[in-house]
Amino acid sequence: MYLPIFYNFTENMIITFIILFISILITNYIGYRILKLNRINYQKEVSIAFIIVTYIIMAILTFKAPHKDLFFDSKNEKYGVNDYLIKD
């Protein structure tokens, strides 16, 4: 939620901090509501699976980054951490 809105208002620091604060509040509220649910008996298993899936997604986006502006390294002018050609 934060990054797409951030790109539209990058020049105004006050709006940027307000958007960041609202994003943190919404995330904390959702987390609080999930923790208060007593219906889920397998919360640990779901949490561990979510953490593993998050790590896998982060690894994929690090090494095989999509060619979008968000993933562009302007210093090295490339996408991802190892964007080189592998010869057979």
Considering its fold, how many domains does the chain have in total?
2
pLDDT digits (tens, 9 = 90+) for 13-63: 787 788 889 999 999 999 888 888 777 677 788 889 999 999 999 888 887
Does this model's pTM top 0.85? My answer is: no
Q: Is residue 61 domain-shared with residue 48, that is, in the same domain?
A: yes
Residue 66, domain member (yes or no)? yes
Instruction: Provide the terminal-to-terminal Cα distance of the chain, rounded to the nearest Å.
Output: 41
Q: Is residue 6 domain-shared with residue 35, that is, in the same domain?
A: yes
Residue 88, domain member (yes or no)? no
Give me the domain span that covers residue 26.
Answer: 1-39
Q: Is residue 7 domain-shared with residue 28, that is, in the same domain?
A: yes
Specify which residues 51 forms β-bridges with: none
Phi/psi at 68 (nearest 5 deg)?
-125, 165
